[in-house]
Amino acid sequence: MDRATLRNIIDELKSEQLEEQDILIYLLHKVQDYYQSHYIPPEVGEMIAEELNVPPSKVYEVLTFYTMFSTKPRGKYIIRVCTSLPCHVPGGREIVEYLKKKLGVNFGETTKDGLFTLEETGCLGLCGVSPVIMINDQYYGDLTVEKVEEIIESLKGGDEK
């Protein structure tokens, strides 16, 4: 990302009359969405600090505190698996085991083809339809291993969900 693009995003956010303290988080979301690998490169984090006139440590504090941000490249599809108790008890454990085996990765890793990143998350707020996963911005509930298999195969085939 070049500095002009970053400035355009900042100007756009400022025109939305966001609170000054909210601009950093909204900016990080937009910058991360700019990259196909869903992450914020270190040099862009430095540019963000300069453009917002904040210390780089402030930018990295936010980047590393919130699990939705990443400083390393991730897959096209980010699979967030809820491992809280309401999801884990009714079949969530089997779904975690299945995903790890099917994708050949552990939590925090990306498949060799760059298609999937598997992440562990706390409650997604959908306990009534547990177990639940979130893939990018889409939620999937009432899951079984078979349903997860269908979802993964659909995404591998290029179907955007």
ω into 131 cis (within 30 of 0): yes
| Binding-site entries for [2Fe-2S] cluster | 82, 87, 123, 127
In total, how many domains does the chain have?
2
CATH code of the domain containing 103? 3.40.30.10
- Domain end, chosen from 43, 65, 87, is at 65
Q: Determine, yes or no, domain membership for 151.
A: yes
- Pair 152, 100 in one domain: yes
Binding residues: 82, 87, 123, 127
Distance in angstroms between the alpha carbons of the first and the last residue of the chain: 27
Query: Is 72 part of any domain?
Result: no
Is there a single domain that holds both residue 61 and residue 104? no
Read out DSSP for 142-153? Answer: S--HHHHHHHHH
User: In which domain, by residue range, is 153 found?
Assistant: 77-158
99 inside domain: yes
Q: Encode the chain (161 residues) as per-residue pLDDT tens digits.
A: 999 999 999 988 888 877 777 899 999 999 999 988 899 999 999 999 999 999 999 999 999 898 889 999 999 999 999 888 887 777 888 999 999 999 999 999 999 999 999 999 888 888 888 899 999 989 999 999 999 999 999 999 865 54
Here the tokens at position 90 are 């009714």
